Amino acid sequence: MAEKIPVTIVSGFLGAGKTTLINKVLKEKHDQHIAVIINEFGEVGVDHQFVLDVEEEIYQMDNGCLCCTLRTDIADMLRSILTVKEKNGVKVDRILFETTGIADPSPIAQTFINVPFLNEHFIIDAVLTVVDSKNFLFQTAHQDEPAKQVGFADKIFMSKHSLVTDNIYRKVIEEVRSINAFAEIQDLDEKPVTLADMFDLQLFYASEKKIRAMEQVAKEEEEEHHHDHDEHACCHHHEDGEECHCHDHDECDCDHDHHHDHECHHHHHKKHHSGINSFVIEADKPLVLANINEWLNELVYMYGQELYRYKGLLYVEGLDYQIIFQGVQMSFDISRGRNWSEDEEHKSTLVFIGKNLPEEELRKSFIECTEK
């Protein structure tokens, strides 16, 4: 069977700068053969094209790329691209899929996972989201989609930094991080995008390297949180989700009884006002496969629509290898990882990004799952 064609999904709210990235691929000279699926030709000013498929509006550019408009569903569009590839002998190294400015990218990603034809021929490389530094704070205060797009991202490109003050930009970054603590951020004003910044990233699917990197980010942010806590104020989360901020520990009447269990650790982050947050749960105790499978199925059943992205590396009792799982909303899969080595720390690490996820409830149920 031929190697799967990698797919890059480009997301971002209206006017964020997706077209700039698309034009870079379509109009610059490079040795990549990329099929770019867009919503409207008018946005990118396609010219000098050779028509390969009139009905599906597939054109070949001077630099060898294909440009297509999404007139049908994703599966049909990609079937047409494969047909043109085979019929006309056109080389296709990868697919770049642009979402609409108001689209939630999760259904698109789920389509690639759930449709057998797409799963057989294509694999998602990464979801890239462009954030408009000038308008993001206003957008997230009035729309749900910009926060969803950030929450779903594997990598974030910040545009229009030069149009805002450093103070505003810092606030935008804080907002982005409160939604998605784990995605890499690239400032397009400081480092203009290259094709190497967009492709062959291998960020979408869970891997040990990716999960460990997320775990490290969580730990660093937790350490920073505790440092700020000690230096400036105490911050206590009540059961109802509200916070009290007390600048003088002597005047604080909150209950600061923190519970620690060496077998289960967690790293959590402040929830964005949209309700989206990201957090990590770790456990040292080996898991019973039947119990964790039941827990994951209940998780998806109860919170599927709110689970934007979730990934994990599981330490399962009786297995000498790692179990890797990952999901997008209602769709998740489990695969075998590498063998554990005798001298390394054996533990499970779970990463979640979602909306209105009951973090403490999930943590509690996971601990109960490990104790069955």
Report the alpha-carbon distance of residue 268 to residue 277 in Å, rounded: 8
Lowest mean pLDDT among 151-165, 180-194, 328-342: 328-342
- Per-residue confidence band for 322, with pLDDT thresholds at 50, 70 and 90: very high
pTM for the full predicted model = 0.79
The structural domains of the chain, ordered by start, are 5-204 (3.40.50.300), 276-369 (3.30.1220.10)
Neighbours of 223 (CB within 10 A): 11
CA 325 to each of CA 98, 258, 274, 336: distance values in angstroms, whole numbers, following the listed order: 27, 30, 27, 9
Report the alpha-carbon distance of residue 345 to residue 57 in Å, rounded: 54
| pLDDT value of residue 249 | 36
List, for residues 231-283, the tens digit of each pLDDT value.
444 333 343 444 333 333 333 333 333 333 434 454 545 556 678 888 999 88
Q: b/e per residue, 79-95, with b = 16+ CB within 10 A? A: bbbbebbeeeebebebb
Report the alpha-carbon distance of residue 279 to residue 195 in Å, rounded: 30
List, for residues 166-176, the tens digit of each pLDDT value.
999 999 999 99
| pLDDT value of residue 41 | 54
- Statement: residue 20 has pLDDT above 50: yes
